Structure 1
Amino acid sequence: MRSVVLPCEAFDNFPPGLPGKLATLAVRIPGGVTTAARQLRIGWLRRLPMLWGQMVTTSVGDPVLDERMRAWTEPVLADARIRRDLVKYARTTFDDAELVRRTEALRDFDGDALVLWAPDNRVMPPERGPRLAGLLPRGRYAEIRGAAVLSMLDEPEAVAREIGGFLAGDRSRGPG
């Protein structure tokens, strides 16, 4: 069994960063989820650090990102069930110690693992990537420089290259 871990909520980082904290506020305001989804469709608002600006480093005005954001927000705007699930997720409160314990349970994973982290991002702390890789008995750490949280959008070729090498069994690079 193999696993690839990309930048994610790990240890006690929930809600993650400024965008996560804003999401927890939006779900507590009547109409907040709908308003937030609509704001993500407006380029200059979306690029604000508190919304989407810390999630990606994709160039300003990228039409692919505009189309993708519309596709991502449409279900939230159109389906009350999806809004309900999003609200439930964003209102979840966790005990930090429990989050750490659950993350540390990765020590029990007995497969190969690649932790592919974006150390330049401002939402998922950079030190968490190597820490996650260190927990995994057969973990390997690799970095995607210049990417934000959603490194697969910022640097898709680098992410694909790292995952491809990992899946092909490329151990010549050694750990991290």
Structure 2
Amino acid sequence: MDQDFARLGAELKAARLRRRPRITQPEAANALGVGRSTVQKMESPRVSQVTRTTIRAYARLLGWTEQSVDQVLAGGEPTAAAEGERPLKAVPSDVGLSPDVEYELRTGKVLGSQVFNLGPDEEDGQIIVVLQGKRDATPAEVERIAARYRKARRHLQGIAAESDEVAES
């Protein structure tokens, strides 16, 4: 398995160096919202120390398909993303989302969103929820997801209400 990870790291580095326009490690890190050391790990045998979600986001940034990471780990070759299938673009770095959240937001289909205030004032914070499903979700799957969210929403509303009670005491 170590050889597979070493090969994955080498393939990712080679893909970055072949990319046109060329991208540096700091530029890749900025685009992914991670530190340069994370990119360095992904381009080395230490790639296994990085979350798969971040590795997949890096692969997409370099123009690979999402399956390419698993293909390389299994001894195969990476597959270039189809023409017109653009690599992931980064959310502005000042937003502060983790690479895992950015990746999930970019790869799924947003079905809805809601903001729960944790207190009466803006300074009290919020819980921001994005309801998401697969891009090709059927209407039945979307309804199943919505039903599950309705149950979870009650709990989130309860958390927000508990926060109001704590703020008032």
TM-score by structure 1 length? 0.25
Larger-Rg structure: 2
Structure number with greater CO (CA < 8 Å, separation at least 6) is 1
TM-score by structure 2 length? 0.25
